[in-house]
Amino acid sequence: MRKFKDVIVIGGGGYVGAVLVPKLLKRGYRVKVYDLFIYGKEVFDAVKDNPNLSLIEGDVRDIPWLEEGLKGIEAIIHLACISNDPSFELDPELGKSINYDCFEPLVKMAKEKGIRRFIYASSSSVYGVKEAENVTEEIDLQPLTDYSRFKVICEEVLFKYADDDFVCLVLRPATVCGYSPRQRMDLIVNILTNHAVNRGQIIVNGGNQKRPNIHIEDVTDLYVKSLEYEDELINKKIFNAGYENFTVSELARQVKEIVGAEVDIIVEPTNDPRSYHISSKKIRAELGFTPRHTIEDAVRDLKKAIENGWLKDPMNNPLYFNIKRMKEIELS
Ligand SMILES: NC(=O)c1ccc[n+]([C@@H]2O[C@H](COP(=O)([O-])OP(=O)(O)OC[C@H]3O[C@@H](n4cnc5c(N)ncnc54)[C@H](O)[C@@H]3O)[C@@H](O)[C@H]2O)c1
């Protein structure tokens, strides 16, 4: 059941937000999207005439402008980010300024303004590489990159402010896969599918490394539900959210099965044997959340999007590759 009417999705113009926002509108929320719209406002073409949607162009580092955006808002979903390692490393100072420096001022302001719920998109990359078969939320964090390290610090910052009136939830999703009106082609299942459909060939480096994934429909359903769970179920809590942990070779085989027998899988050696596994038992046990969409569903959706021409030049278009887009716009 809805607890709020007015929500803001900061960074809602990205891959996850472009699927999430229409779902929130459908569920009756009044939604503000606060974003630099690095990937364009066209991602909302299907819902742009919805009177419950407002798009506010702004930088998450611009605290006074963001404060304007927070007027009347009851809950925040915070997705804004330089959201992978290569684009963070392109300009680490810029990455830090967006992913970390402005975070505490934002949280503080949200609390002062009486926002009742703050949902933070962390990442399962905070664990680094673990031998354990099932990495639970309790295990030590060993973030390997600055992108992941700042996710960890932001989780800690957020929880300093949590109380009964300011409910704070951290989600650590696995790598997301599937089709979005703001497509990303730099995520493992999407990369494999793109190559299989457009080149008839998938190159697998190594192959035995495990990679946890979650379908974009499931992760966005989870963000919607995060606005609706009872306070005590989620306040100051952290949840992993993944589907199954497949190896890269298994993912490649699944892609081939859907795209077609003619797809070649070429295995090349790798000097990066890093393997990730996450356990999503806690979220199932405590919130009753179970992913409903498979990796095969994601591959099928993406194949359809490519074949139907919904994506323009999917192997090269900078809009589908965060690092290419960041290089193109020279954000400072
Ligand atoms: N996609 C995944 O596989 C995945 C997995 C785990 C966690 N996450 C996290 O989920 C969140 C959303 O991921 P995504 O895949 O949608 O990323 P994305 O890169 O597609 O979207 C990020 C959005 O943030 C916006 N943005 C960037 N800098 C900004 C700034 N300074 N001010 C305002 N807006 C800004 C961009 O314009 C973009 O719309 C991120 O925090 C990411 O770290 C993503």
Residue of minimum CA distance from atom 42 in ligand 1: 83
Q: What domains are defined for the chain?
A: 6-329 (3.40.50.720)
Separation of alpha carbons 263 and 255, rounded Å: 9
For residue 80, with 0-12 CB atoms within 10 Å meaning exposed, 13-18 middle and 19 or more buried, which class applies?
A: buried
60 Ramachandran zone, left/alpha/beta (phi>0; psi -120 to 50)? alpha
The finding on whether 123 has its CB within 6 A of some atom of ligand 1 is: yes
Specify the ligand 1 atom closest to the Cα of 17. 16
Q: How far is the CA of 309 from the centre of ligand 1 (A)?
A: 24
**The predicted structure's pLDDT at residue 238:** 98
The finding on whether 38 has its CB within 6 A of some atom of ligand 1 is: yes
Separation of alpha carbons 331 and 88, rounded Å: 12
Q: How far is the CA of 219 from the centre of ligand 1 (A)?
A: 13
**The predicted structure's pLDDT at residue 126:** 93
Q: How far is the CA of 238 from the centre of ligand 1 (A)?
A: 19
CB distance 52 to 24 below 8 Å: no
CB distance 168 to 162 below 8 Å: yes
**The predicted structure's pLDDT at residue 128:** 86
**The predicted structure's pLDDT at residue 141:** 92
Q: Cα 106–154–189 angle (5° rounding)?
A: 110
Token pair, residue 213, equals 């994934």
**The predicted structure's pLDDT at residue 132:** 79
Pocket mutation for ligand 1, best pick of 81, 94, 218, 239 (most atoms within 8 Å of C-beta)? 81
- For the chain of 332 residues, list the mean pLDDT of each consecutive stretch of 10: 95 98 98 98 98 98 97 98 94 97 98 98 90 87 93 98 98 97 97 97 91 96 98 98 92 96 92 83 98 97 97 97 95 92
**Helix, strand counts (H, E) of the chain:** 13, 12
Where do the H-state alpha helices sit in 162-274?
Answer: 188-199, 216-226, 231-234, 248-259
* Alpha-carbon distances, residue 143 vs 91, 122, 126, 156, 239 (angstroms): 19, 12, 5, 14, 17
The finding on whether 81 has its CB within 6 A of some atom of ligand 1 is: yes
Q: How far is the CA of 35 from the centre of ligand 1 (A)?
A: 10
**The predicted structure's pLDDT at residue 33:** 98
**The predicted structure's pLDDT at residue 276:** 82
Q: Cα 300–176–227 angle (5° rounding)?
A: 115
Pocket mutation for ligand 1, best pick of 42, 62, 83 (most atoms within 8 Å of C-beta)? 83
CB distance 314 to 21 below 8 Å: no
Residue of minimum CA distance from atom 1 in ligand 1: 176
